[in-house]
Structure 1
Amino acid sequence: MQEMRYTTAHNFVGAPVDGYRQPVCILTRPAANALHEAQRKLLRRGYSLKVYDCYRPQRAVDHFVRWAKDLDDEEMKAEFYPHVAKSRLFADGYIAEKSGHSRGSTVDLTLVRLPAKATRRYVPGERLVPCYAPKDERFPDNSVDMGTGYDCFDTLSHTDDPRIQGIQRANRHLLKGVLGELGFVNLPEEWWHFTYKPEPFPDTFFDFPVARRSVAGH
């Protein structure tokens, strides 16, 4: 299951991101094989994985950097970074000039309880709700409750933030536990962010577009 956010306007930039031509998840073969095995394990427990982002071309990262430097563009602030001044996004580590996603073995994802409900489309200009609001108030996502939405620039997104308890904490630990057994390492600051180790291309930042033809025949 996938909801490739950067091909849409429902992300912190508020527009489709450079380099995302089709909503496809591209990963290195070892990462893809491990993710497939994680999906098999979760399906037996009544869950599915849902990916938000996989390989990210360098041109997309460059788009993020340009956006972060434009302090007048705060169109999506109310949902994705309500408590963070845009001028702090670099210093606080939310935006950087390089991303592990560009090496091809990092994935952003969540859990969906089956049977899955449909997720409605985001309508540009609609009223935005903070990404840390209660789940029934946030933008509707068919995932389980992780305590925040995806790409929430807030310390509540830290995987083990002590304010996240109960079913929200259990859901985060289920995702982390299953993926961890298969070689994925979680980024502690983002409950949704996992990198397969060892990475096949630890020092290479790719820039081919996200499209089926980019990997056709491989």
Structure 2
Amino acid sequence: MIERFGYIDELVPGIRWDAKYATWDNFTGRPVDGYLVNRIIGTRELCLALTQAREEAAVLGFGLLLWDGYRPQRAVDAFLRWSREPEPQDGHEDGQGKRRHYPAISRPEMFERGYVATKSGHSRGSTLDLTLFDLASGDLVDMGGDHDLMDEISHHGAAGITPAQTRNREQLCTVMEASGFGRYDSEWWHYSLVEEPYPDTYFDFPVD
């Protein structure tokens, strides 16, 4: 691993994580190239800002659960190859992934609409996918849609979710922006460090 990167679970105590792309529970339906262990990596600058975000969230009674951080370029390339594969036939179990993650668009449209990129900010090491959980119960907060639901309902300010779900998204946004992160308008879970240390470098070392 590059010196200025670290494992977030070591550098930010109290963070929960579930590295979706190291598992079968993601939009491709299989572990993704470059994710060899269920851990999440980020730049040390990201970890410092995330420590502040964890503290800001705790004041509100929340913890942070991470789904993704640094993403090797080889994983992004795997997404592109997957997008060129034929869609599963109706009734096939893989069709559940489409219903859950991209119900109203095709695989190529994920890229056209900006939900997945051929060059991802994640590969620069200072972008996160995350949500809130209730510190008292441990339950995930209801955000009106799951991680990687590639649909307009996932946009900030989306119609079709409840006032409570809107407030929950706003609370996450407030926590992250107060800690030096900027939001991505099309995905309520996606935040990037504003002052990222490697704004023009896309890394490809594995998560191992």
Structure 1: runs of 5 or more not aligned: 118-141, 212-218
Match of 1:81 among 94, 99, 102: 102
> CA offset at residue 85 of structure 1?
2.2
Structure-2 change in CA distance of 1:73 and 1:57 (3 Å)? farther
Moved more, 158-167 or 94-103: 158-167
Distance in 2 (CA, whole Å) between partners of 1:61 and 1:16 is 13
> CA offset at residue 165 of structure 1?
3.5
> CA offset at residue 116 of structure 1?
4.2
What TM-score do the two structures reach when normalised by structure 2? 0.85
Aligned amino acid, residue 185 of structure 2: P
Q: Does 1:104 align with 2:119?
A: no
What TM-score do the two structures reach when normalised by structure 1? 0.82
Match of 2:204 in 1: 207
Question: What whole-Å deviation, never above 9, does each CA across 1:135-161 have from its counterpart, x for those lacking one?
Answer: xxxxxxx41110100000100000111
Distance in 1 (CA, whole Å) between partners of 2:87 and 2:142 is 32
Moved more, 74-83 or 176-185: 74-83
Query: Counterpart of 1:192 in 2: which secondary structure?
Result: strand
Aligned amino acid, residue 151 of structure 1: D
Aligned amino acid, residue 175 of structure 1: L
Distance in 2 (CA, whole Å) between partners of 1:60 and 1:85 is 19
Structure 2: runs of 5 or more not aligned: 1-15
Q: Is the 8 A contact 2:18 2:39 kept in 1?
A: no
Match of 1:215 in 2: none
Query: Counterpart of 1:180 in 2: which secondary structure?
Result: helix
Distance in 2 (CA, whole Å) between partners of 1:89 and 1:45 is 34
Aligned amino acid, residue 141 of structure 2: V
Distance in 2 (CA, whole Å) between partners of 1:164 and 1:78 is 18
Aligned amino acid, residue 45 of structure 2: P
Match of 2:4 in 1: none
Match of 2:154 in 1: 157
Distance in 2 (CA, whole Å) between partners of 1:184 and 1:89 is 24
> CA offset at residue 72 of structure 1?
3.0
Match of 1:28 in 2: 43
Q: How does 1:22-101 map to 2 (within 5 A)?
A: 22-73=37-88, 75=94, 76-101=97-122
Q: Is the 8 A contact 1:105 1:199 kept in 2?
A: yes
Match of 2:33 in 1: 18
Query: Counterpart of 1:112 in 2: which secondary structure?
Result: strand
Match of 1:7 in 2: 22
Aligned amino acid, residue 107 of structure 2: K
Q: Figure out how many residues of one structure are paired with residues of the other and give that number.
A: 187
> CA offset at residue 89 of structure 1?
2.4
Q: Is the 8 A contact 2:115 2:186 kept in 1?
A: no
Distance in 2 (CA, whole Å) between partners of 1:101 and 1:147 is 24
> CA offset at residue 84 of structure 1?
1.1
Distance in 2 (CA, whole Å) between partners of 1:93 and 1:195 is 15
Structure-2 change in CA distance of 1:169 and 1:21 (3 Å)? same
Structure-2 change in CA distance of 1:5 and 1:165 (3 Å)? same
Q: Higher strand proportion, which one?
A: 2
Distance in 2 (CA, whole Å) between partners of 1:24 and 1:114 is 21
> CA offset at residue 73 of structure 1?
4.3
Q: Is the 8 A contact 1:67 1:73 kept in 2?
A: no
Q: Is the 8 A contact 1:19 1:57 kept in 2?
A: yes
